[in-house]
Amino acid sequence: MALLVVGGVGGVVFWGGFNMFMEHTNTLEFCISCHEMRDTVYEEYKTSVHYTNASGVRAVCSDCHVPKDWTAKLIRKIQATGEVFSHLAGTIDTPEKFAQERPRLAEHVWATMKARDSQECRNCHSYGAMDFHRQTARAAEKMQEAMRAGQTCIDCHKGIAHKLPPSDD
């Protein structure tokens, strides 16, 4: 009986600690603890509407880059171990290396967002909640076209929080 109680308490403590760590890795402070992020994309993000806006609502890195549902979040965290390895290996540790890798990194993020139907965007934004009459005429027209065409947010809104990488066009 004592073994069962100790195992149960140990399991709860382990699970609680694991979830606490998972949530800690979703904080802005954690995300910008690497200079690769702090000195590049974080500076861009600070000039975006997702950082400062009239409503005072701020989206942090994990709001856009980490799924909310637990299984998808766990998968994303496992994938992120590769990013930790890249940090330790110095893959993007200079502005020049970052600029060289930026197109590949952006394409990967965009493909992931597209595959998830921009779910992380849709956690805050939805066609159904939009008041097209309060948007500019052009924005309302484009949003309604996108809605009818079944487009997802990332189809049109690349570069909303970070600079677009240079294109080969």
Model confidence over 88-108: pLDDT tens digits? 898 888 889 999 999 999 999
pLDDT of residue 34 exceeding 70 = yes
pLDDT of residue 169: 56
CA distance to 16, 129, 130, 138, 148, per residue, from 134 (Å) = 44, 12, 9, 11, 19
> What pTM does this model have?
0.83
- Asked if residue 133 and residue 108 are part of one domain, the reply reads no
> Is residue 94 in a domain?
yes
- Asked if residue 147 and residue 90 are part of one domain, the reply reads no
- Asked if residue 133 and residue 94 are part of one domain, the reply reads no
> Is residue 48 in a domain?
yes
- Total structural domains within the chain: 2
> Is residue 24 in a domain?
no
- Asked if residue 92 and residue 129 are part of one domain, the reply reads no
Average pLDDT over residues 104-123: 94
pLDDT of residue 140: 94
- The domain of 40 spans 33-121
For the chain, give the mean pLDDT: 91
- Asked if residue 142 and residue 65 are part of one domain, the reply reads no
CA distance to 2, 37, 42, 67, 105, per residue, from 162 (Å) = 54, 11, 8, 19, 12
Model confidence over 59-86: pLDDT tens digits? 999 999 999 999 999 999 999 888 888 8
> Is residue 114 in a domain?
yes
> Is residue 130 in a domain?
yes
> Is residue 164 in a domain?
no
- Asked if residue 107 and residue 58 are part of one domain, the reply reads yes
Place of tokens 């809605």: 147
Tell me if 73 sits within 8 A of 21, measured CB to CB.
no
- Asked if residue 130 and residue 86 are part of one domain, the reply reads no
- Asked if residue 108 and residue 38 are part of one domain, the reply reads yes
